[in-house]
Amino acid sequence: MSEAAAVQQDGAGRPIRGAIFDLGGVMTYSVFGRPRDVDPELLAMAAFFLQELHEVYALPTGAHDLHRLETGRLSEADFFTRLCERYAAAGHRRLDPEEVRRTVFSRKLTACAAMVDAVRQVKAAGYRTALLTNNAREWESAWRSLVPVDELFDTVIDSSVVGLRKPDPEIYRLTCERLGLDAEECFFVDDLECNIDAAAQLGMKTLLCVGPEQAADEVARRLLGRSVAIEDDR
């Protein structure tokens, strides 16, 4: 730990020694977007999917297919097949699961260069770094190709690998354990309030990301005392 990093702290309390980052919506731009020129029925299905997410995402654990997908107990193919079955059971036209998958994830996942740069500088300053992501087993090769994961992070906690998901407190505890730090020594960045709230309850300092470029600048300001904002080159 460098002297500069060792003395940095976010308000009162113990010095921050580690920084934990979400993937989608933090290291990358949001994967969700409104597709153009799509069958209205597929748009209705996308709304159905998002409503389900809204209802169950904040539950730390559960038997919903989303929980099973993100803890590695359900494949992506089975997830979308079962989603289409629920949609049909609700009185709608039966849809092709692959078409639904493409509609739901219509926006290409793109890394945020500003956040990548911020994490690189945070790590270079001596902070321990972790990537903490809720994900599906099948998506790992895709997201690992977007950012230099092994360069940026000392440890990676993938929900589908460890069998836990945010906002379950146990996945935060596991992340801290792998960093060799206490929760009070960690700074956590995520784009969902339920995940931020769970981390804060454990004593972490937190930042709710409303946009990855703005969040990158705030991360640098808090941990490095300077700006690292760079121009969006999408």
pLDDT of residue 230 exceeding 60, the answer is no
Please say whether the beta carbons of 226 and 220 come within 8 A: yes
Bridge partners (DSSP) of residue 114 are: none
Helices (H) and strands (E) in the chain, counts: 12, 5
Q: What is the mean pLDDT of the chain?
A: 90
- 3-state SS track over 9-44: CCCCCCCCCEEEECHHHHHECCCCCCCCCCCHHHHH
- pLDDT, one tens digit per residue, over 174-203 is 999 999 999 999 999 999 999 999 999 999
Instruction: Give me the residue spans of the domains in the chain.
Output: 3-30+109-224, 40-104
Query: In this structure, is the dihedral angle defined by the CA atoms of residues 167, 168, 173 and 179, taken in order, positive or negative?
Result: negative
CA-CA distance, 146 to 225, in Å (whole number)?
27
Please state, as a whole number, how many other Cβ atoms lie within 10 Å of the Cβ of residue 234: 9
What is the fold, at CATH topology level, of the domain defined by 40-104? DNA polymerase; domain 1 (1.10.150)
> Domain 3-30+109-224, what architecture?
3-Layer(aba) Sandwich (3.40)
Least confident of 56-60, 106-110, 177-181, 206-210: 106-110
* pLDDT for the residue numbered 229: 54
Which DSSP helix (H) or strand (E) runs through 181? none
Token pair, residue 215, equals 């969040």
Q: What is the pLDDT of residue 32?
A: 61
Render pLDDT for 5-54 as a digit per residue (tens, 0 to 9): 333 445 557 899 999 999 999 999 986 655 556 788 888 998 999 999 99
